[in-house]
Structures are given as structure tokens and as C-alpha cells.
Structure 1
């Protein structure tokens, strides 16, 4: 998630499936089924989270989350240590979002709604029954897609560490102009694989938390704290310490991210999650509130989403060619809208965009997101 990085991710994740098993498969009418063998209906309001069934067998679990409240909501499935097994973001009032999450091991989990998309959420126990159902597939196209995307994650993680090392060196050398110039480029590697990168306990808010984390009892550290120092307050007495901690946390995160074992459903959900990241933070100008370099983040999230879809393309072309054609059309439209704001040194500042330009980007993003949301349903049908 890309708004307030909360303290709820308190324990580094076990190396397994995590945040790429996240977002939904579509926007639907409010027809969530509570049948014992069907999708599990969730009624989310501003002060309640009603889950129709509190257990399901290990394997792929489908939820349909209807927002009956007045605030934008989210829904999460957590394992022990607040390890995110699945999440669906940006559920506007009146909408239903459907998503699939792979929970391979039986045991006790938690569900949570987050009205207003902040805080620890309204939680309840959730039991996964039966025998282990490790997320395997016999489909060679999906096996190839997973291996390809794993290589992509590894390459982006390595580059993120390299660029963070450079950024920290510039900060500690008091080279403000150099650090400002590198800042959006270094962060782009994080943004391309954000659903994986943000899944390891407190590392996400420590590296990428915005100032709002203070409200959750956390220290404001990481990239956005240094963003504030560079663009607003000037380098502080503890900026070097913050920079050193950023590098240490990034080193730890990269080691974990490169050991994640992904499955095809995580790729499809992750592609949608990255578009949700744009919708809930970048398109609003909230992410880079001091530097206003949100379009760098926008482009990186978009690239990451396209990378996930690209690895799945052979499978999707075989199983739903019409969906591929529509995604291609919507992707081209968003690329065209975004390219209007490219500059000689990267992208226009968010504050330079007019209201109509932001709306154009938002409309194109929504159109693409609606189609990408359908990919998980196609992938979930694989044997």
C-alpha cells in the first residue's frame, strides 16, 4: 500500500508468498455469494467488517468485498506476524471487489477491513483447513511466466540497492543537488516491484513510509524523511544517521525479496496492485509531497504492472485473447496520456499538472485497471 505506511507490519515476513498475492480481480455488482462452496462475502462499513465464513480449505480462496460505508476501504488477509497473504485496495463506497488469494498452509490467519485505508484495521480470526496445498501448476506457460517475473524482481531489487548506495553517499557528502537528481530514479526500482518490496514487516514503513507513520507510533525514516530534508527543511543533524539506516534496511529487504517464491496468481494480482498504487497515491500527488516527483513513481508502477502482464501474455493469449487485446488498447491509451508529461530530464512535477490533465491520466488509468482486474480470474482457472 502506498498511503500511510502503518506499523501493523511488525514482524519480517517468512520467505514465501506475500504481498504480490494481493489485489482484486474485478469491480462487480453487489452480488457477493456467501455459499459454503463459493466466494466468501465480506461486508465492509466504516465501523464493521462482516466476513460471511471464517474458514476455508487451503488453496485458492476467493473473497468478494462490498463497501457499504462512506469511506474508501481495504481488505487484508494476514498470516502470523502480520505477513500479508492478500489485500485488495481502493474499494470506493458502493463497490464490490473480487479477489483470489493463495493460502497454501492450514492454520490460523486474520482478516481485516481498513475504513479510510489507515490503521490496524477491524480484525477477526480466519481458519484455513485441510492439508497443505502448495501453489503448483502444471501449465508450462504459467511456470515460465513465474520464472521470468522472478528474474525481473531480482534485477530490480539489485538495482534498487545499487542506486540507494549512491543516494546515501550523496546525502552524506551534503551534495543536495546530486541527491535530489538521483532521488526519483533510485526510487523507481522500488516502485516497479512495490507489492513484493513492501511485504516484509516494518521494512516497508521504515524505507518508504510517509510522515503519517508518526501517527502510528513509528519514527519517520527512510526515503521520504530524506525527501523532506532535501526539499523542505534542509539536511538535519541526524540526516546521515537516517541515510545509514536506509541503506541497512534496503540491504536487508533486497536479500529477502530475492528469496520470495512466487506463483502465477501473485503475478496477476501484483499487476493490478501496482495500478492501485498509482490510483491511491501517485495520481493524487500524495506520495512525493515535498519533491513532487510523483510521475516518476507513476511511470515505475506502470512499468512494473506491464512487466507482470508481459510474462503472463502467452498464457492469456491462449486462454482469453480478447482480454489481451483490450488490455493492449487500454495500455496504449495510458502510455499516450502519460507521455505528454515527459521532459528532457524525466517527468513534469505533479504541481505543474492542471486539473484536466490529472483527470485525463486518472480516466485512462481507471480504464486499464478495470481490464487488468480480470486477469486473476483467468489465471485462477489454471490446473
Structure 2
């Protein structure tokens, strides 16, 4: 009997088997294609953030504190939606733009000046640096590889963050916009899941896909309140943990590894 190791056709068979293993389920586009379709959402959101930072600089130059505060808040929305991407793909820029709980630079350094005890418009240098970092990020978005595994990691990591330290009091406490941050985070998770993973999940396991969609909707509903003081932190934490568990179960069904929460920390 011919041994497997002696079969000249084995490398061909092995290649075929491996190729079949990564073919998406019927009716689902390849994840690389759906990840690529997510790019224009990132470009739009970071573009909105950059425009907000430039408006902030204009208001600071005019010594318009109220206008500067409004521009700062407006700039945050697109940024917080994009955190599915930023911490895992551009961790250095993420730290320069939105380091937290370190509030000495970036968005939160400016927040301390605008909303803290001094309440001044003396944040021009910090805002110039913020604009430069955001412009650098926006320039990278046209060509950065949007690896599906890293986007799935980003969804899980952001869900963990929402249910953890953000649920315990929020990120933007001086400005009083921590709830806005969490709402935008939840919307960013929903967007990335819908655009990149929803169809593949539904083709791989419809019941699991429906459960993941419901978990995301529940996280969104939990933070869709009018006052952070009314946040049910335990419910948010439980919903975030459920979503992460569902993503970990679903990942192998679409040819990915279970999402890790560690990538952004490296």
C-alpha cells in the first residue's frame, strides 16, 4: 500500500483542502471584501473628527470658549465610533489622540483646559498637535490593510471597554459627555458588525448571528438614556460580556480565530 507521504498528489490535495476551508459560506461575500467596504465609513468618521478639531482651533483663536466646547464635543462622535479600528490598527496615534485615563494630551488634555477648573481657551498648541495626528491618521486610511481578524478583535475589545471602565463612570467626566462616548462606541460596534461580519455570520450559523445582533442592540439600548446617572452598569457589563462570548463562539464559523482583547495593549 502506498504511504500518504509517498503520494505526489498530496501537496495538491492539501492545497485544495486548505482553499476549501477558507471559502465563505454560500451567499456570503469574502470577509476581505466586506472589510474593504468598511473603509469609507472610517474615512468619513475620521474626516468628521478632523473637521471638528479644525473648528475647535478656530474657536480657540477667537477666544470663544462656548464655541470651542461645542466643537470639541462634535469632534468626539466620529472618533468614538471609530475605536473599533483605532486601538488595534494605529495604537501609537490612538494614544496621542485619545489617551485615557492619561489626560495630559490629545482630546482629554484639551478637555481639561476647556471644561476644568481653569476653563480657558489656552489650548492652541495641544489642538494643533491633535489636528496633526488626526491628519496623519486620515492619510493612512486610504491604504491600511483592514484585516477582518483585527476588526473582530476591535469589536470585542471595545465591547469589553464599554462594559468595564467606561461603565464605572465614563471617560469624559470633565465635559460631562461620557454617555455620548459610550453611545458612539456602541454605534461603532453595530456598524462594524453589520458591514463586515453580519452576512458571513448569518450564513455560518443563523441562530448565533441573530443572538449576536440582539446582544449588540441590547448594548445600544442600555446606553441610550438621557443621563449617565441612570446607567445600569451591571446590565451594560453583562450585555458586553454576552456579546464577547457570542463573538468568540461565532469566529471559527467564519474562518477566524476567537477575538483577543490584548492587541491594543501591545
TM-score (normalizing by structure 1)? 0.54
**Residue 353 of structure 1, aligned match among 211, 224, 230:** 230
2:88 matches 1:203: no
Pair 284,201 (structure 1): closer, same or farther in 2 beyond 3 Å: same
The 3-state SS of whatever aligns with 1:376 is: helix
Query: What is the distance in 1 between the residues matched to 2:92 and 2:199?
Result: 36
Q: Report how many residues are paired.
A: 230
Contact 2:160 2:240 survives alignment (8 Å): no
Q: Which has the higher contact order (CA 8 A, sep 6+)?
A: 2
2:209 matches 1:332: no
**Residue 155 of structure 1, aligned match among 20, 44, 55:** 44
2:254 matches 1:370: no
Contact 1:227 1:291 survives alignment (8 Å): yes
TM-score (normalizing by structure 2)? 0.76
- 1:181-200 mapped onto 2 (5 Å cutoff): 181-198=70-87, 199-200=89-90
**Residue 272 of structure 1, aligned match among 156, 165, 173:** 156
Give 1:333 shift: 2.5
Pair 378,170 (structure 1): closer, same or farther in 2 beyond 3 Å: farther
2:201 matches 1:316: yes
Pair 172,197 (structure 1): closer, same or farther in 2 beyond 3 Å: farther
The 3-state SS of whatever aligns with 1:212 is: coil
Give 1:304 shift: 1.3
Long gaps (5+) in structure 2: 1-21, 258-266
Query: Which protein is richer in helix relative to its size?
Result: 2
- 1:79-228 mapped onto 2 (5 Å cutoff): 139=24, 140-198=29-87, 199-200=89-90, 202-210=92-100, 212=102, 220-228=104-112
Contact 1:207 1:246 survives alignment (8 Å): yes
Contact 1:265 1:380 survives alignment (8 Å): no
Contact 1:271 1:305 survives alignment (8 Å): yes
Pair 262,362 (structure 1): closer, same or farther in 2 beyond 3 Å: same
Pair 338,280 (structure 1): closer, same or farther in 2 beyond 3 Å: closer
Give 1:211 shift: 5.7
Larger Rg: 2
Which residue pairs with 1:262 in the alignment? 146
Which residue pairs with 2:173 in the alignment? 289
